[in-house]
Amino acid sequence: MPASSALERFLRYAAIETTSKPDCEKTPSTESQFDLANLLVAELRELGLNDANVDAHCYVTATLPTSCENAAANGETDVANGGKEIPVVGFLAHLDTSPDASGKNVKPQVIRHTSGTIPLPCGGAIEEDAALRQCRGHEIVISDGSTLLGADDKAGIAAIMAAVELLIREKKKHGIIRIGFTPDEEVGAGTAYFDIEKFGVKYAYTVDGEIPGELNKETFTAKSATLKIIGKEIHPGSAKNAMVNAARIAAEFVAATPRDQAPETTENYEPYLHPYAISGDVGEAKVRMLLRSFNDGEMQKLEETVRGLVAKLSDDFPKAKLELTITEQYRNMGEKLADFPEALTKLEEAVRRAGVIPVWKPIRGGTDGSRLTEMGLPTPNIYTGGHNFHSRTEWLSVDYLEKTVETLVQLAVVFAE
């Protein structure tokens, strides 16, 4: 397959700041996401997708019409020659980048990786782990070390755009393809205003994974928790039997969380409890936590652990006021994807045709597909070729990005056959 424009597109998109903002009541959480959205609408229209549009909430949608002769749209299928139904499928990626590291003034660097550690221009280095070792001889895109790279998920966007270009240029046989780019995935609001009925597809695929071959049909079930602690602020000189130090109570809570259930000590299907932010002072403090598991039984145990720790702190500090709030974020999409084997087997076939061995791997996180599947739209996840997401050591293999493009093209073809 001829080289696509995926790298050129990625470098252009990565330079645009689209960092999302947590705890924001509006969608999108940052206006800068419109900068990339508007560019993509213009590029989609240049490719001939004349209905390309961005709405008030920064959702970009467009339609690649079927290339099958005498095909007519019929709900979520094309009815082509001989009455064969071709499911309408959607390709999805998200516009925003994680607020965990700066996404402003990203300066992508393209290098040839030979072996070993990759030093970053502004300091720090990318250690060669197993994933990077597999990419010896590849072109690699890195940041300059002062920001994240944004492969999560601008690599997904670039792959989708390049696949659309190839489907048109090479006149591949395909059904109707719907394109969707969503805001605020990184802060858990990517589907807040996503209109499944209007999108009008039978199956969708998020392009938001890592190494080629790794496909995702299972994610964590996710909950968030916030512990609010109200203390009593008194001058330290006269604090005995009067001060209630909310900051100290918060620290004791975090120290009491089980180390063997932390993200840094778990893998694969193991659940975790992750206190990731502490804020406040003597008078008031907050601890924010993530609870992640692959089944409801383990999630219940995590909740019991948190509630037990809070109850003990209430006994130890009776003058403090402790308020615990636990909120469900998304569910394991594997619970429902098992009912849609066609969406999975077609993807496996497309991956094989792209020259890659498919392997189903659980995501220790979530995608827009987690919520979309729960909402009724089966949405597995496809790789992009990136790694070390949400950090200044993030990198992207150009060779693997091209495999993603080819996989998407083959997926469109497989559904049309």
pLDDT in tens, 22-51: 889 999 999 999 999 999 999 999 999 999
Catalytic entry in 152, 184, 185, 368: 185
Q: Does residue 306 carry a pLDDT above 50?
A: yes
**Does residue 210 have an active-site annotation?**
no
Q: How far apart are alpha carbons 172 and 403 in whole angstroms?
A: 17
pLDDT of residue 1: 44
**Does residue 399 have an active-site annotation?**
no
pLDDT of residue 61: 98
Q: Does residue 114 carry a pLDDT above 90?
A: yes
What's this model's pTM, rounded to 2 decimal places?
0.89
pLDDT in tens, 164-178: 999 999 999 999 999
Query: Confidence band (pLDDT; 50, 70, 90) for 366?
Result: confident
Q: Which domains does the chain have, with CATH numbers?
A: 6-218+332-416 (3.40.630.10), 221-330 (3.30.70.360)
Catalytic entry in 96, 184, 214, 406: 96
